[in-house]
Amino acid sequence: MSSFARAPATIQAVSHSQGAGLSRNVSLVDQWGHSRQIEAPRGPPVELRPWDGPVTLADTVGLRQLEGAKPAASSSSAPLARLARATRRVRDYQRQFGAAYVVALLLRSIVDRALIPIDTYLLRVEGTRGVLGPAHRGYRGHTALDNRQQWSAFDWSYGGEEWGPPEGRAALVEDELLRRLPPDPVIVEIGPGAGRWSAELQPLAEMLVLVDVTDAAVEICRHRFGEVDNVEVLRTDGASLPGIAPGSVDVVWSMEAFVHMAPVDVAAYIGEIARVLTPNGFALIHHAGRYHRRGWRAPMTKELFARLAAERGLSVERQFDSWGDGAFNVHASHDLITILRQHSALSSG
């Protein structure tokens, strides 16, 4: 997942309460000293780890990497620990496969590292020209399996609240969703995580369908929204919208998920979005705006995203990176938010 920015906030305290559902509150304090309480989602019980100091909210893949977090090991011992693990692996491989295998494996690792800047250059050239070329098609990272493993291991204790304030969510819904929303809409959200955006969408929808690749997220959302009758939670293979009929969805929404998807999976999802949207439906998708390695971003550009959409029958209505009169943005990671519509809707409008 990823964050959007506002004035810095700090996690100052965590208090525990008993029970298997909601189990803790987190106090967030912004730079002006205003505090607010957030509740963790009603998901499966999770064990909170103690923090011995303030934790600044940052653009990150997990709490383990937050600025100010307690490190797992001292900076001096970490390289030695990595070297010891690598040495053990080499010895295991040598015993199992022989010395020649180990040499070949090391050579392959060296070649792979040498190819990183070349692959990055190829991805940037293709991305700038909006072409899903050989570099993007052959990109091996951020697969559905990678995402499933990444977010299954993620600490969901804070429900994703560390990625941005609720005011930012409310502002985006007000600016970009409400004015486009038809009566009694069917909304699909791709990659809900622990459901923090879903909580904004649920009161607005006649039916809200949450689709996630991670079992943990599916179970958390089922538990969190188990008492409302207009939410359905589905597990996806990471590139499709299973069980959703063609032309049946008014809005497809996805924040903080597409930034971590491989280009071929993004292309597949856009095809699925085109399939399920009604003729006047629209999609709001947060995605990477250029390829870089910060925040576990997958390669994507605004040009390539627009081309993928056009090839699948969708048109770009708007691309932007800030909202709420500039109070909130995704500048830090060079991300974008794109609103897509069916070609016919924009042509007739």
Domain count, the chain: 3
pLDDT of residue 1: 63
Tokens (6 digits) for 108: 């392959």
- Pair 251, 321 in one domain: yes
* Residue 84 maps to a domain: yes
- Pair 119, 28 in one domain: no
> What is the maximal distance between C-alpha atoms in the chain?
68
Does pTM surpass 0.85? Answer: no
The upper half-sphere exposure of residue 116, i.e. CA atoms within 13 Å in the direction of its Cβ, equals 9
Helix (H, G, I), strand (E, B) or coil at 16: strand
pLDDT of residue 331: 86
Rounded Cα gap, residues 217 and 235, in angstroms: 9
What confidence tens digit (pLDDT) does each residue in 174-208 have? 999 999 999 999 999 999 999 999 999 999 999 99
pLDDT of residue 31: 33
**CATH code of the domain covering residue 268:** 3.40.50.150
Tokens (6 digits) for 176: 């970009």
pLDDT of residue 2: 57
Average pLDDT (5-14) is: 39
**Structural domain boundaries, residue 21:** 9-65
Rounded Cα gap, residues 75 and 232, in angstroms: 45
Domain boundary among 102, 136, 170: 136
User: pLDDT category, 346, cuts 50, 70, 90?
Assistant: low
* Residue 236 maps to a domain: yes
* Residue 220 maps to a domain: yes
pLDDT at 75 over 70: no
pLDDT of residue 44: 41
Secondary structure letter of residue 245 according to DSSP: P
pLDDT at 305 over 90: yes
pLDDT of residue 45: 37
